[in-house]
Amino acid sequence: ANTMLSGLPTTIFSVMSALAARHDAINLGQGFPDTEGPADMVEAAAGALRDGRNQYPPLAGLPELRTAVARSNARFYGIEVDPAREVVVTCGATEAITASLMALVNRGDEVVVFEPLYDTYLPVLEMLGATVRTVRLAPPRWDLPRAELAAAFGPRTKAILLNTPMNPTGKVFTAAELAFIASLLAQYDAYAVCDEVYEHLTFSPARHLPLMALPGMRGRTIRIGSAGKSFSMTGWKVGYVTAPAPLADLVAKAHQLLTFTVAPNLQRAVAVGLEKDTAYFTELAEGMRARCQQLGDGLRQAGFGVLPCDGSYFIIADITPLGFTGGDVAFCEQMTAHAGVAAIPVSAFYDSRGVTIPDCYVRFAFCKQPGVIAAAVTRLQAVR
Ligand code: PMP
Ligand code: GLN
């Protein structure tokens, strides 16, 4: 058997969702909204099925969706994109991340990542034979440690894998931080894979800025988005990659091996979504910001320390003020079983082989209806 896979535990998101179901807990673990996405997109998807959009679409994606991805790059960030040569549609951002790393990395290449990190990054890099250079961000603000980042770059650096807005921290990289990263990429002639699935979920004054939009970065950046997050349809698994043509070609080759194509009706519906007026995206972020605030306030009242959050679906709470010393994993298990609220231990976002992994932080998802957040807070306050 493949030793990387045989050693890989089941993802914490499935583990905690199963535990939540077993205890009939309110699931603030795995990040998925509990409301339907836009009705016009559901209609477009259903209509496309009836119209016979049921055979293999083009490998790189439906032209109408690739055009919509290109147009949204221009509309939101001023990035000009050739839809025919610079966009690839994938089965969620998950495939896009793997395909992008496959496109760039040869065995032995170094890839810089930030910790805490999303759970697919390390196993995929390991499968590709990359040498991972991890740069740890420190709570509560998760500011970019510039000297450490510079020290992680070297002559064998092929790429940086950057997630902003960031899961699980809720950090949004600032323009100055991105400019520093860009200067290193230029200096070392390296690439960036940018996981920007939460691009439309930032809370003002924080604003998402794609690294790709910075001077000199257009030709060395692969930018990844997800319909799951931008349209509250996480089960649809439609992702999109924007990259300079030579890299988009390679991402398409990887996609050819991994899944080949993505359900055409969903692609058509996501094209409808990406063409929505700007008010849709503003309201999405504003609604999420209100829920972030509501959950943060409730957690504080329940005795948690609460870290700042500028975007994403997630807010991190510190369990230290509660006096619990058994670690974040045990805390999440006990909170699910006894308080009836599930969340994700933040230690799951660290390289498990690392030393001194913080174990006092818990990630809560706030992409839920206000009544559900209120009920969760009531439960947490009751067991205090
Ligand atoms: N990257 C990050 C940072 C995520 O949080 C997620 C999960 N939503 C993904 C990638 C995967 O996105 P998708 O569901 O589109 O595959
Ligand atoms: N991205 C989601 C989260 O962080 C989970 C996705 C998954 O279950 N793989 O909660």
Domains of the chain (ranges, CATH numbers) = 3-30+279-382 (3.90.1150.10), 39-276 (3.40.640.10)
- State residue 362 phi and psi, 5-degree precision: -130, 135
**What is the ipTM for the molecules in this complex?**
0.97
Task: Please indicate whether residue 311, judged by its CB atom, sits closer than 6 Å to ligand 1.
Answer: no
pLDDT at position 354: 81
Name residues contacting ligand 2 (CB within 6 A).
11, 13, 30-31, 167
CA of 236: how far to CAs of 255, 262, 269, 359, in Å?
A: 17, 10, 10, 33
Q: Tell how far the Cα of 234 is from the centroid of ligand 2, in angstroms.
A: 9
pLDDT tens sequence across 292-337:
999 999 999 999 999 999 999 999 999 999 999 999 999 999 999 9
Encoded tokens for 172: 């949004």
pLDDT tens sequence across 199-221:
999 999 999 999 999 999 999 99
Query: Which residue owns the Cα nearest ligand 2 atom 1?
Result: 31
**3-class SS of residue 353:** coil
Q: Tell how far the Cα of 355 is from the centroid of ligand 1, in angstroms.
A: 26
Task: Please indicate whether residue 86, judged by its CB atom, sits closer than 6 Å to ligand 1.
Answer: no
Does the predicted TM-score (pTM) go above 0.90? yes
Q: Tell how far the Cα of 94 is from the centroid of ligand 1, in angstroms.
A: 6
Q: Tell how far the Cα of 138 is from the centroid of ligand 1, in angstroms.
A: 22
What whole-number distance in Å separates Cα of residue 240 and Cα of residue 224? Answer: 6
Q: Decide if 201 contacts 172 (C-beta within 8 A).
A: no
pLDDT tens sequence across 227-270:
999 999 999 999 999 999 999 999 999 999 999 999 999 999 99
Query: Which residue owns the Cα nearest ligand 2 atom 3?
Result: 31
| Closest ligand 1 atom to 96 CA | 16
pLDDT at position 84: 98
What whole-number distance in Å separates Cα of residue 88 and Cα of residue 249? Answer: 9
Closest C-alpha among 197, 99, 107, 219 to residue 158: 107
